[in-house]
Structure 1
Amino acid sequence: MHPARRETSAQSGIDDLPQIRPGTQWWTFTIHLRDDGGEFGLTVFFVRHQIRRPDGTPLESHAVLWYRSDPRTTSHEGESWLDEGSGELAQVLLHADEVTDPRIKRAFIEALARGDLPLPDRRLPHPVRIGQDGLDLDFGGVARLRKERDGTYLLEADGDRSGFHLRLTPDKPVIAQVDGDVRAYCLTRLTVTGSVSGERESAVRGHAWYRHGSGDHWRSDVEPAWEWVGLRLDNGWDVSVLRGMLVDAVKGTSMPAGVHGVLSSPDGERLSVPAVLRGSAAWTSLSTLNTYDTVWDVDIASHQLSLRVRTWFPEQEIRSLLFGSGILEAYVSVEGTMAGRPVTGQGCLEVWPANRIADIERFVLRARDLANASIDEIYPESPEASMLAGLAGVEDRPELLEGVNLTDLHDTLVRPIRYAVEGAGKSWRTYAALAALGMLRAETRAHHQSVAGAFEIMHTACLVVDDVEDRSPVRRGRAAVHMVFGEATAINAGTAAYFVYDKLLRRTVPDDESLRLRIHEIFLQVMHAAHAGQALDIAGHRAAMDEAVATGEAEPLLRRIRAVHRLKTASVPRGMAQICGLFAGATPGQLLAMADYFEAIGLAYQITDDVADLRGVTAPLSGGGHRPTKHVAEDLRAGKVTMPLAHAVALLPATDIRRIWHTVRDGDAHPAAVTEIARTLEDCGAVQACEREANGYVTRAWESLQGLLPVTHESIMVCALGAYMARRERE
């Protein structure tokens, strides 16, 4: 056990004046307040950043954010205001960023270049004023922070929907937040009085924790991330534990950067102590796909201190361009023991993840866990009578299953679907469904996760049946469902899974029959289209290809393939966009444009999937890297007519396309010959024609949609997703 290091308050004096030197400076308040209705939390950030532009001129940016966490309603609401320099700063950093996925970079830069800040960020209405005499900040007339001569702080805000007027009086001396030459300090206890306004104005009182610090420029190849807890215990002790990490966004790996434990005794003495910080009870944001632990254990052996820290509720993520995407700033309750005696308390948890996205495909893969959680609700791992009754459609008459071996029902109806979804799929439909809600600023709730997961089930069910009809032995890098469970079971389980949506819908929209009817109509349209597309796919394109080779005319063949792609593949994301748009309250114009765009994404995905087949198909792994799921030119070797082959009709000499078609027409072509044909299709421009076509669909649909949407992080990411679908890079 390491002894604690003691430090007097005089050794850690604070200088919270605005600085001239380049870098970041922040003033952060986490405030526990109480009004006549009960307890709530208020977090306030003032942030200033200074760099030099590429031409050497100085660039300053400022941001102020505040969010209120109310455990009574489990609501988390606030405002975020940035100045003009913040948008320019983001562009400068993005242009210099060699880590972020280029499609995401481009989408953000294009939005910022138009002068748009992604909501919830708003533009400060007036310039920022920095006082010359002491700490005196006025951020655009929206929020103010001033330090009085007696050491108290005045904190005020007048936003569009909320505000506050607070006086904060320090109860303990300033302490350094970490050891060493680090410019970070805090006041662990301040008494707070004043008023808070929103739907109504109310007098409040409480306590606050104030942090001030400065640092170097944002962004580097290795990005810092951290978790911090600041706790006030009822015995007068205060606890600060900061655990840092350095994250390699490209590799997806992290390296510990130390744990800093600091105690403040009841009389204000600072003690540096070894500490352990462990998180559990992970929660994933449906908006950012960031995953945060929401229960934490704090152990400080030198003081026999053992604490359990729990968030009031998980959904306390703050989203802003300031953070890249989002951070968790959550109010917590504390209980545990110190020196054998029980203690309780309150505090704040901050989780600041590495928010840069190096690979959009790997980012979207984070949605897989959300989809799997939804699937677990519907298809439990072990037989459950009530769930199986629901899948059988007899939940109101469970006695019909009396005498039935539930294991048999589970093995033939549930296990095949669970097996199918456990493969190495990309899960982009789940993410796209959540993003479609976020594009319209719909509040994402747990039931939306179930809706998004249902699209993954529907898609997976189509694949299960498709593999039987195509006699495909492999799916997602392993044996197809019918190879493991048999064709009859695969067909029955796959078709039964189509009806899962009805069960979810009744649970998600129990009281709105009109909305449920509209969604049912869309769902049935999707199923009609998908089955029609599958019917045409079963019929195949051999005769159409024969005709194209004979005449040299590619367009009739291409029209047929496009129709199949739209019906079989693109109809699902189109219907998904319509359903999510209805949930989000989209206007008719938004609904149509969203449907067209997501159909374009689905169409582009299928076209580039045909291209990927020539090169070998891979799926991303959550820890980085990819795994092969299809060998080079499997479809071509099986004699399937794909988009690159169809485009080649108009691009190759007649003798060459006849030779190629003769080689692959009847399937089982020699692998060496197929590899050579794939190279020919690359060289003749057929692949480039496919990519141009896919990009054209996505670009035109996005141009129609973007003017109808508010600019949000989700809309920017969906724009990037479309760019990815239109041109998936060679793995």
Structure 2
Amino acid sequence: MTTPAHSASGLQAFLKESADRVEGQLQSALARAEPGAETLYEAMRYAALGPGKRLRPALVYASAAAIDSSARHRELCDIAAAALECIHAYSLVHDDLPAMDDDDLRRGRPTCHIRFDEATAILAGDALQTRAFELLAGCDAPAELRLQLLQELARASGACGMVAGQAIDLAAVNQQPGLAQLEQMHRLKTGALIRASARIGALIAGADRQHLDAVTTYADAIGLAFQVQDDILDVTADTATLGKTQGADAARNKPTYVSLLGLDGARDKLAALHRQALDNLAGLGGNCRLLEQLADFIVQRGH
């Protein structure tokens, strides 16, 4: 993947290129429907190919480029990015279900269970999750690397990562958790997959332990920053800007950084995490400009 100029326009070109690459991979991965399961595949495509920021794929490409700027890892990055988007799409479909967050709107469109039906949405999420692992297991990479990538994705997606975070989130409704518990929830629910995206890109590019540690600490900071900004936008942006119902967290009495810290305190927290992310890149060396710009992009969303 080419490294664009160091500018806002360069970042937008990079985001478009990475989105185009992963969407092409997803189109291919979700193209063929088993006879009789056409509606299932339609729902899978609806969930995975709808509008979105494609942040996780961008992190795969940017992390790989920071370790090795050549294009020799590009096709493996495409597959890994598609696998991560399948997991992310599945998580959104299930999060929106009536038994979870009960949302009717996602990315400015009806949620999957509204567009189709609840049973189809559940099955689409299940199928997207398993397709993610099928993609990685079948990729053209050395067996040891494939196992590493599968382990990263499994750990981030399951009961040690994203699913655990969702369980904590559901249990926190109408409760008053402290800041440490809120951070733990979001490090798992949102941050784990962001962390895995950055680590997977670095592993594909051959990162050593020092470089992998630097990428990991950077990703931990931006993963939490992503959620803090989400909480800020939930009270400052309108539904059209958000692409989902404005004020939904407050309506469900869910704890947020704004509810615990106030709006100014949440903004201070966001700025501190932004600085932390950029500082952690110092140990990486190489060309980290894309990672720096992605950190800027996360904290400036909605501005």
TM > 0.5 fold call: yes
Equivalent residue letter for 1:410: E
Is residue 2:78 matched to residue 1:456? no
Look up the match of 2:219. Answer: 598
Deviations 1:257-278 (A, max 9, x none): xxxxxxxxxxxxxxxxxxxxxx
Secondary structure of the corresponding residue to residue 566 of structure 1: helix
Equivalent residue letter for 1:367: S
CA distance in 2, matches of 1:708, 1:363: 20
Look up the match of 1:540. Answer: 172
CA distance in 1, matches of 2:263, 2:298: 14
Equivalent residue letter for 1:493: A
Q: Report matched runs for 1:415-430 at 5 Å.
A: 415-430=42-57
Q: TM-score, normalised by structure 1?
A: 0.38
Look up the match of 2:62. Answer: 435
CA distance in 2, matches of 1:476, 1:521: 29
1:471 corresponds, among 98, 102, 108, to 102
CA 1:581 to 1:358, structure 2 compared with 1: closer, same or farther past 3 Å?
Answer: closer
RCO (CA 8 Å, sep 6+): is it higher in 1 or 2? 2
CA 1:722 to 1:617, structure 2 compared with 1: closer, same or farther past 3 Å?
Answer: farther
Equivalent residue letter for 1:516: R
Q: Is the 8 A contact 1:365 1:426 kept in 2?
A: no
1:729, distance to aligned residue in structure 2 (A): 4.7
Q: TM-score, normalised by structure 2?
A: 0.89
Q: Is the 8 A contact 1:361 1:426 kept in 2?
A: no
Is residue 2:135 matched to residue 1:508? no
CA 1:509 to 1:617, structure 2 compared with 1: closer, same or farther past 3 Å?
Answer: farther
Deviations 1:269-290 (A, max 9, x none): xxxxxxxxxxxxxxxxx3247x
1:454, distance to aligned residue in structure 2 (A): 2.0
Equivalent residue letter for 1:457: C
Q: Report matched runs for 1:379-458 at 5 Å.
A: 379-380=30-31, 383=33, 388=34, 406=35, 408-412=36-40, 414-444=41-71, 445-458=74-87
1:694 corresponds, among 252, 270, 282, to 270
CA distance in 2, matches of 1:429, 1:374: 14
Look up the match of 1:172. Answer: none
1:508, distance to aligned residue in structure 2 (A): 2.3
Q: Is the 8 A contact 2:80 2:200 kept in 1?
A: no
Equivalent residue letter for 2:21: L
CA distance in 1, matches of 2:143, 2:107: 38
1:513, distance to aligned residue in structure 2 (A): 1.8
1:509, distance to aligned residue in structure 2 (A): 3.4
Deviations 1:154-188 (A, max 9, x none): xxxxxxxxxxxxxxxxxxxxxxxxxxxxxxxxxxx
1:359, distance to aligned residue in structure 2 (A): 8.7
CA distance in 1, matches of 2:199, 2:58: 15
Q: Report matched runs for 1:303-702 at 5 Å.
A: 324=5, 357-358=8-9, 360=11, 364-380=15-31, 383=33, 388=34, 406=35, 408-412=36-40, 414-444=41-71, 445-468=74-97, 469-510=100-141, 512-528=142-158, 529-544=161-176, 557-616=178-237, 629-647=243-261, 686-702=262-278
Larger Cα-atom Rg:
1
Secondary structure of the corresponding residue to residue 525 of structure 1: helix
Is residue 2:290 matched to residue 1:717? yes
CA distance in 1, matches of 2:101, 2:274: 29
1:591, distance to aligned residue in structure 2 (A): 0.7
Equivalent residue letter for 2:136: L
CA 1:729 to 1:506, structure 2 compared with 1: closer, same or farther past 3 Å?
Answer: closer
Deviations 1:514-538 (A, max 9, x none): 2222222222211221110011112
Deviations 1:389-435 (A, max 9, x none): xxxxxxxxxxxxxxxxx1x22321x2112112333311121111111
Secondary structure of the corresponding residue to residue 134 of structure 2: helix
CA distance in 2, matches of 1:563, 1:517: 27
CA distance in 1, matches of 2:282, 2:263: 28
Q: Is the 8 A contact 2:233 2:242 kept in 1?
A: no
Equivalent residue letter for 2:154: L
Aligned-CA RMSD value: 2.4
Equivalent residue letter for 2:197: M
Deviations 1:30-72 (A, max 9, x none): xxxxxxxxxxxxxxxxxxxxxxxxxxxxxxxxxxxxxxxxxxx
CA 1:632 to 1:543, structure 2 compared with 1: closer, same or farther past 3 Å?
Answer: closer
CA distance in 1, matches of 2:121, 2:87: 14
1:442, distance to aligned residue in structure 2 (A): 4.7
Q: Is the 8 A contact 1:569 1:606 kept in 2?
A: yes
1:540, distance to aligned residue in structure 2 (A): 2.4
CA distance in 1, matches of 2:12, 2:167: 30
Deviations 1:617-662 (A, max 9, x none): 678xxxxxxx651344232233322210111xxxxxxxxxxxxxxx
Q: Is the 8 A contact 1:614 1:634 kept in 2?
A: no
Q: Across the two proteins, how many residue pairs are aligned to each other? A: 297
1:367, distance to aligned residue in structure 2 (A): 3.0
Equivalent residue letter for 2:172: G
1:581, distance to aligned residue in structure 2 (A): 1.6
CA 1:448 to 1:362, structure 2 compared with 1: closer, same or farther past 3 Å?
Answer: closer
1:585, distance to aligned residue in structure 2 (A): 1.0
CA distance in 2, matches of 1:363, 1:617: 27
Identity percentage of aligned residues? 28
1:365, distance to aligned residue in structure 2 (A): 4.5
1:376, distance to aligned residue in structure 2 (A): 0.8
Q: Which structure has the highest helix share of the two?
A: 2
CA 1:585 to 1:442, structure 2 compared with 1: closer, same or farther past 3 Å?
Answer: farther
CA distance in 2, matches of 1:516, 1:363: 26
CA 1:617 to 1:371, structure 2 compared with 1: closer, same or farther past 3 Å?
Answer: farther
Equivalent residue letter for 1:688: D
Q: Is the 8 A contact 1:616 1:631 kept in 2?
A: no
Look up the match of 1:707. Answer: 283
Deviations 1:373-402 (A, max 9, x none): 11111101x53xxxx5xxxxxxxxxxxxxx
Structure 2 segments unaligned to the other structure (5+ residues) = none
CA 1:361 to 1:645, structure 2 compared with 1: closer, same or farther past 3 Å?
Answer: farther
CA distance in 2, matches of 1:439, 1:642: 33
1:464, distance to aligned residue in structure 2 (A): 0.4
CA 1:373 to 1:571, structure 2 compared with 1: closer, same or farther past 3 Å?
Answer: same
CA distance in 2, matches of 1:573, 1:433: 9
Equivalent residue letter for 2:254: K
CA distance in 1, matches of 2:3, 2:247: 36
Q: Is the 8 A contact 1:482 1:490 kept in 2?
A: yes
CA 1:503 to 1:724, structure 2 compared with 1: closer, same or farther past 3 Å?
Answer: same
1:692, distance to aligned residue in structure 2 (A): 2.0
1:700, distance to aligned residue in structure 2 (A): 2.1
Q: Is the 8 A contact 2:156 2:196 kept in 1?
A: yes
Structure 1 segments unaligned to the other structure (5+ residues) = 1-285, 290-323, 326-355, 389-405, 545-555, 620-626, 648-685
